[in-house]
């Protein structure tokens, strides 16, 4: 809101109203008489924040009713010179502040310098929340956590893998309910014991793709960040099952795959 605050000069003010003579060219007197000297009055000052007292740079300073306009510098200062005696309305506008006006009275050849205070606008902006789309790794981990919360199957996290001190998947699967390791001549297979078809060899999925049955149990756990174990086709999510699946599934997620 625009308001007008009075700043009175030490010299008696002239009649209220914009002096018609300011900014106008000097008129020659009757022929043969001397020409009036140019006006030497001036208004200068500093525009500051009313609360912090810091200078306001880039504020627009206008003398209403004239073409005289300027802007404050980096120190908040401005100056208008060559002004006639009279009454002036000085208006200051700046981004983030209310438009403010002052009435100033200049005597002949008077120069004034004031500090002009601007009140900051109390504008509260609504918070802006920026959400990035999750990457491939984040999406896979989110899906893993969603399936884990559903409570179907057995889930082994990266922290649990590290705590187990397992070297291979064979070590990690030992003792898992419903999973039996059948080892002959140092070669092991993982078998499910809770299927409708009795004991059967589990299917393996690595990073979402089917994997070889013969080598997967001996896969080192280095680089594995999550394991899902489904001990029957009815327990396993559809995306892990093949068309002819009759056994359970062991799904492995690695750092390279995520």
pLDDT digits (tens, 9 = 90+) for 54-107: 999 999 999 999 999 999 999 999 999 999 999 999 999 999 998 999 999 999
Asked if residue 86 and residue 142 are part of one domain, the reply reads no
Asked if residue 238 and residue 148 are part of one domain, the reply reads yes
Across 100-127, average pLDDT: 90
Closest C-alpha to 113, from 76, 78, 72, 70: 78
Asked if residue 250 and residue 140 are part of one domain, the reply reads yes
Range of the domain at 108: 4-24+35-118
- Residue 138 is encoded by which pair of tokens? 């984040």
For residue 30, tell me if it sits in a domain.
no
* Whole-number CA gyration radius for the chain: 42
Distance of CA 84 to the CA centre of its chain: 52
Asked if residue 142 and residue 250 are part of one domain, the reply reads yes
Distance CA 13, CA 246 (A): 103
Across 158-175, average pLDDT: 92
Whole-number pLDDT of residue 32:
54
Whole-number pLDDT of residue 3:
41
Closest C-alpha to 19, from 133, 139, 110: 110
- Can you say whether the dihedral through the CA atoms of 149, 202, 221, 224 is positive or negative? negative
On the question of pLDDT at 108 being above 80, the answer is yes
The CATH number that applies at residue 14 is 2.60.40.1120
Better-scored residue on pLDDT, 137 or 141: 141
For residue 130, tell me if it sits in a domain.
no
On the question of pLDDT at 252 being above 70, the answer is yes
CB 32 within 8 A of CB 66: no
What is the percent of the chain where pLDDT is above 70?
83
Closest C-alpha to 248, from 237, 258, 50: 237
Q: In a 3-state reduction of DSSP, which class is residue 201?
A: strand
Whole-number pLDDT of residue 37:
85
Better-scored residue on pLDDT, 258 or 125: 125
On the question of pLDDT at 47 being above 80, the answer is yes
Whole-number pLDDT of residue 213:
62
């Amino acid at each position: 809101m625009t308001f007008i605050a009075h700043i009175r000069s030490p010299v008696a003010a002239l009649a209220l109203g914009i002096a018609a003579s300011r900014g106008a060219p000097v008129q020659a007197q009757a022929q043969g008489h001397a020409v009036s000297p140019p006006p030497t009055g001036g208004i200068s000052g500093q525009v500051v924040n009313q609360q912090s007292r810091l200078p306001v740079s880039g504020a627009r300073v206008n003398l209403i009713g004239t073409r005289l306009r300027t802007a404050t510098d980096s120190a908040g200062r401005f100056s208008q010179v060559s002004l006639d005696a009279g009454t002036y309305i000085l208006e200051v506008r700046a981004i983030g502040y209310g438009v403010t006006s002052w009435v100033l009275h200049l005597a002949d050849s008077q120069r004034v310098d004031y500090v002009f205070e601007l009140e900051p606008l109390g504008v509260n902006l609504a918070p802006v929340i920026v959400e990035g789309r999750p990457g491939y790794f984040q999406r896979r981990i989110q899906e893993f956590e969603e399936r884990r919360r559903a409570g179907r199957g057995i889930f082994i996290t990266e922290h649990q893998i590290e705590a187990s001190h397992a070297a291979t998947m064979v070590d990690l699967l030992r003792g898992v309910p419903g999973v039996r390791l059948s080892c002959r001549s140092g070669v092991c297979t993982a078998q499910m014991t809770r299927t409708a078809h009795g004991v059967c060899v589990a299917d393996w999925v690595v990073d979402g793709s089917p994997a070889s049955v013969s080598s997967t149990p001996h896969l080192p756990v280095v680089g594995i960040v999550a394991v899902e174990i489904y001990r029957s086709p009815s327990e396993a999510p559809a995306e892990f099952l093949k068309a002819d699946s009759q056994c359970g599934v062991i799904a492995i997620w690695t750092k390279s795959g995520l």
